[in-house]
Structure 1
């Protein structure tokens, strides 16, 4: 299992919409997340900085392939047409990233 964290900005005027969307995530999107070997997925909001922090645990063996399969899923792609306009990707993110991945520097159970 690999713990993964990521961050992205959120447009202040879109916070209510983003919360509304995530209060009722589409079942097919949730199924795709599970099929992509992602467990224990949470998104946190930090105001007034307007940052979203995402955390999940990856239980697969080929992260790139699982993420490619997720990105190819038509329902997930449709979901992203609703969520992406709410977000403000960080300038410092890696090429091809929407959310900027983070390095784990500490963990304790």
Structure 2
């Protein structure tokens, strides 16, 4: 199992809505993530920059950002596009981060 981190960008003033939507994550999306090996998924918010920092454990070949061909993920991206910085296909602008330190 490996860990992956990435950052995304929240639109100003949308933090409460972002948190609300994620607190009510769709069961089918959660099941899809678990089925593809994504677990221990956390997203943190930097209030000064509106950067979202995500960390997830991956047991398989795909992380959450690699599932864009799935209709459930596409529907979620469409749902979130009004409160995040996104690409033309509504996927979140996501920048992978290299892990430099981990303490177990």
TM-score, normalisation: structure 2: 0.83
Is residue 76 of structure 2 the alignment partner of residue 106 of structure 1? Answer: no
Aligned residue pairs, count: 99
1:15-41 superposed Cα distances (whole Å, 9 cap, x missing partner) = 222111011000001011111211100
Match of 1:85 among 66, 76, 82: 82
In the alignment, the residues of structure 1 paired with residue 45 and residue 92 of structure 2 have an alpha-carbon distance, to the nearest angstrom, of 19
Tell me, which stretches of 5 or more residues in structure 1 are unaligned? 90-95
In the alignment, the residues of structure 2 paired with residue 29 and residue 101 of structure 1 have an alpha-carbon distance, to the nearest angstrom, of 21
TM-score, normalisation: structure 1: 0.80
In the alignment, the residues of structure 2 paired with residue 71 and residue 88 of structure 1 have an alpha-carbon distance, to the nearest angstrom, of 16
Tell me, which stretches of 5 or more residues in structure 2 are unaligned? none
Q: Larger % of helix: which?
A: 1
1:11-30 correspondence to structure 2 within 5 Å: 11-30=11-30
- The structural deviation recorded for 1:97 is 7.3
1:1-109 correspondence to structure 2 within 5 Å: 1-60=1-60, 62-63=61-62, 67=66, 70-88=67-85, 98-109=93-104
Task: Quote the RMSD (CA, aligned, Å).
Answer: 2.1
* Aligned equivalent of 1:92: none
